[in-house]
Structure 1
Amino acid sequence: MPSSNRKRHGDFTSPNGDGQVPERAYAQFARRLQESADKKDLKSANLADKLGITRGTMARYWDGERLPPSDTLITLSETLGVSPAWLIRGGDKSGGVLASASDADWVRVEEFDLRQMTDSEKGEAIGSTLFRRDWLYLTLGDSSGLWIARLLSHEMGMPAGAPIFCKDHPQGEMPQEGRVYIFRVNGGTVIGRFTYRQTGLRMSLAEGRGHPVPFGSGMVDQVVTPADLEDRDFPHFIVARVVGVLARPL
């Protein structure tokens, strides 16, 4: 398959936010997929039947011609007993498989209400949930300093009320290209994708309109640029980075 057809697929974009998946990522994904399947004596056709997809589609994943969408990836990883992050990105092989529940290290993740957030603090925690530390790390690429919030409206392809994993943004540190952040602006809270590129896709907060920008499998309606951070009328203050939505890393 020509590399030009692999610019963007499913939920996976390159770390620098340009929307391109490196050519080698397909082959590496296929290698890890076949390696994991072999340990369970599964072939491509067996996996297709278990996942409820056509054998032709599974064969394209198996041969490294394409990457699966997030819902298929999660089901596939559960079937193989590995993490979605390991299938896609690799890393320490021993960290690709979750420890048994009895051996797992658990961490309590607090939840905050975005409606109670101010320019200086998140407010009081409204609850907490126990998560396996290895699951957080393997799924989100991080397991420390995380907290949960719930979307106030339909964003990132998720309905209002969907939980998101967040991490406080260090004061004075510039945001990273293509990352999704929680911003405070004009007394309110918004979620937006930060970009250094002046593409004309900025949404004017005053006018309340703009073009949606693809991000992962959903949409992030607000695009924030360095100009927004310095805007005299509506300066955007970075509160936290959105690390993931449910089991999907951002």
Structure 2
Amino acid sequence: MSSAIANDVDGLPPSVRERLVDVLRAAGAQKPVSAKLGVSVPTLQRILAGSAPIDLNLLYRIAAMSGVDAPSLLSDRAGPHIVDASQADWIDIRTYDLRNITDDGKGVPVASAPFRRDWLNSAFGTDSGLWIAALLSGYPPVGLDEGDRVFLRDIRADELTERQLILWRVRGHLVVGRFSAALRATEPNGEYWVSPPLIGKAEDQLNPIARIMGRPLAVIR
């Protein structure tokens, strides 16, 4: 990797580059992905082929697009190393329809699919309690569009931590926004913040349903 390119993430371990490429491939067609990242399709193709470097600005755009924080994408400590497919352990992840969400639960699953535990732990730091759903509305600040399939994990109000991206329920509708312990205004880029005074189970309060963990890295059909 050339040190002449400013802000290069020099010396990426193979497992980290594989993780980044997996995230990019799982994000969808190359043209919309390149547009979200602010690079050309040929540049994206070179990145996927391992012939173009990933600089810090691009790393953070990949993290924002995937919903996985940048340190987790870079750190080999985010989860176990990727193992050979013949040795991989698999877990079934259920898919739910967000239109069936109520304060009492998610309803019955509409599908399930097997995922590798090592991939889940590497991307999200856990393979426990995960489920999948297609978003009913987008969240442009992190590159999420309506219909995007994402991993989620149930969360309670007392488990919320700063900057987590959360699926909330309010007045019978679902909205996406980040948690902040401090009061914050909605930012010009559309980042929507939810602080403790707004959280609760009253009709006009936001009830946390699940943390949005990121997009699926791989699925066996």
Q: Normalised by the shorter chain, which TM-score bucket?
A: 0.5 to 0.7
Aligned letter for 2:172? G
- Provide TM-score, normalisation by structure 2: 0.65
Whether 1:166 and 2:149 are equivalent positions in the alignment is no
Structure 2, unmatched stretches of 5+, are 1-6, 18-45, 64-69
Instruction: Report the Cα distance in structure 2 between the residues aligned to 1:134 and 1:149, rounded to whole angstroms.
Output: 21
Alpha-carbon displacement from aligned partner over 1:168-225 (angstroms, at most 9, x marks no partner): 114x524111001111111111111111222322xxxxxxxx7444xxxxxxx43211
Partner of 2:39: none
Whether 1:91 and 2:77 are equivalent positions in the alignment is yes
Aligned letter for 2:92? R
Aligned letter for 1:33? P
Whether contact under 8 Å (2:134, 2:150) holds in the other structure is yes
Whether 1:114 and 2:104 are equivalent positions in the alignment is no
Q: Which secondary structure does the structure 1 equivalent of 2:113 belong to?
A: strand
Structure 1, unmatched stretches of 5+, are 1-8, 10-25, 38-46, 74-83, 202-209, 214-220
Number of aligned pairs?
176
Whether 1:237 and 2:207 are equivalent positions in the alignment is yes
Greater Cα shift, 233-242 or 116-125: 233-242
1:245, CA displacement in angstroms? 2.4
Q: Once the two structures are aligned, what percentage of the paired residues are identical?
A: 27
Instruction: Report the Cα distance in structure 2 between the residues aligned to 1:132 and 1:122, rounded to whole angstroms.
Output: 24
Q: Which secondary structure does the structure 1 equivalent of 2:93 belong to?
A: strand
If asked which structure has higher relative contact order (CA below 8 Å, sep 6+), I would say 2
Supply the RMSD in Å over aligned alpha carbons: 3.6
Whether contact under 8 Å (1:148, 1:163) holds in the other structure is yes
1:114, CA displacement in angstroms? 0.7
Instruction: Report the Cα distance in structure 2 between the residues aligned to 1:49 and 1:235, rounded to whole angstroms.
Output: 44
Aligned mate of 2:165, from 165, 180, 192 = 180
Q: Which secondary structure does the structure 2 equivalent of 1:91 belong to?
A: helix
Instruction: Report the Cα distance in structure 1 between the residues aligned to 2:195 and 2:128, rounded to whole angstroms.
Output: 28
Aligned letter for 1:235? Q
Partner of 2:13: 33
- Provide TM-score, normalisation by structure 1: 0.59
Whether 1:153 and 2:152 are equivalent positions in the alignment is no
Q: CA 1:233 to 1:130, structure 2 compared with 1: closer, same or farther past 3 Å?
A: closer
Q: Which secondary structure does the structure 2 equivalent of 1:144 belong to?
A: coil
Aligned letter for 1:153? S
Whether 1:142 and 2:119 are equivalent positions in the alignment is no
Instruction: Report the Cα distance in structure 2 between the residues aligned to 1:67 and 1:212, rounded to whole angstroms.
Output: 17
Whether 1:69 and 2:39 are equivalent positions in the alignment is no
Alpha-carbon displacement from aligned partner over 1:124-150 (angstroms, at most 9, x marks no partner): 100011100111111111111100011
Whether 1:222 and 2:192 are equivalent positions in the alignment is yes
Instruction: Report the Cα distance in structure 2 between the residues aligned to 1:137 and 1:184, rounded to whole angstroms.
Output: 27
1:72, CA displacement in angstroms? 7.2
